[in-house]
């Protein structure tokens, strides 16, 4: 009899941030998503047959997403997280670049100068002059 898949892995829950856009209000927000990290055990479990040995040799560590929906922080509507990333292999995840670094590299490669930080307009004098006190 073949062993269950859970006999080959150790499960460890973790929370990872993710950027998602609400379909109703179109605002992008940072949400904490619950995942389970399944790490391959260092030894084959006892009672494993030849079929299990072949399966164990091919296994890799992966992350399995637990949350399918998040609640928008702006409008409060629940929306579904796209399902194409519900399972991610850990070795693929390790080589991904940081989003900020990626944006900087794209702007440098396109030849566009980095945008200057927006300066705030000066406050009107009615907000900056000293108060005369109560009369």
pLDDT tens-place values along the chain, 135 residues long: 566 777 788 889 988 888 888 888 888 888 888 988 888 888 877 777 788 888 888 888 888 888 888 898 888 889 888 877 788 888 777 666 666 777 777 777 877 666 666 778 888 887 787 777 666
Residue 83 lies in a domain: yes
Is 23 within 8 Å of 72 (Cβ atoms)? no
Model pLDDT, residue 117: 67
Identify whether 116 is part of a domain: no
Burial label for 86, CB within 10 Å (0-12, 13-18, 19+), is: middle
Q: How far apart are CA 37 and CA 91, in angstroms?
A: 12
- In this structure, is residue 119 part of a structural domain? no
Determine, yes or no, domain membership for 103.
Answer: no
Report yes or no on 47 lying in a domain: yes
**Domain membership of residue 62 as a residue range:** 5-95
pLDDT of residue 83: 73
DSSP-derived secondary structure letter, 19 = E
- For residue 34, tell me if it sits in a domain: yes
Nearest of 22, 21, 20, 17 to residue 77 by alpha carbon: 22
State how many domains the chain has: 1
Residue 26 lies in a domain: yes
What integer pLDDT is reported at residue 114 of this predicted model? 62
How many helices (H) does the chain have, and how many strands (E)? 4, 6
Predicted TM-score of the model (pTM): 0.60
pLDDT for the residue 87: 81
Rounded to whole angstroms, how far apart are CA atoms 16 and 108?
29
Residue 100 belongs to a domain: no
């Amino acid at each position: 009899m073949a062993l269950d898949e859970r006999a080959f892995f150790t499960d460890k829950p973790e929370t990872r941030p993710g950027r998602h856009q609400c379909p109703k209000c179109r605002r992008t927000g940072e949400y904490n998503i619950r995942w389970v990290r399944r790490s391959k055990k260092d030894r084959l479990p006892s009672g494993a047959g030849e079929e299990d040995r072949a399966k164990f040799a091919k296994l890799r560590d992966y992350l399995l997403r637990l949350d399918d929906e998040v609640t928008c922080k702006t409008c409060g509507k629940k929306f579904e997280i796209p399902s194409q990333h519900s399972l991610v292999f850990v070795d693929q995840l390790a080589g991904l670049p940081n989003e900020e670094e990626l944006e900087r590299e794209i702007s440098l490669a396109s030849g566009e100068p980095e945008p200057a930080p927006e300066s705030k307009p000066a406050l009107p004098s009615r907000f900056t002059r000293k108060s005369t006190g109560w009369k």
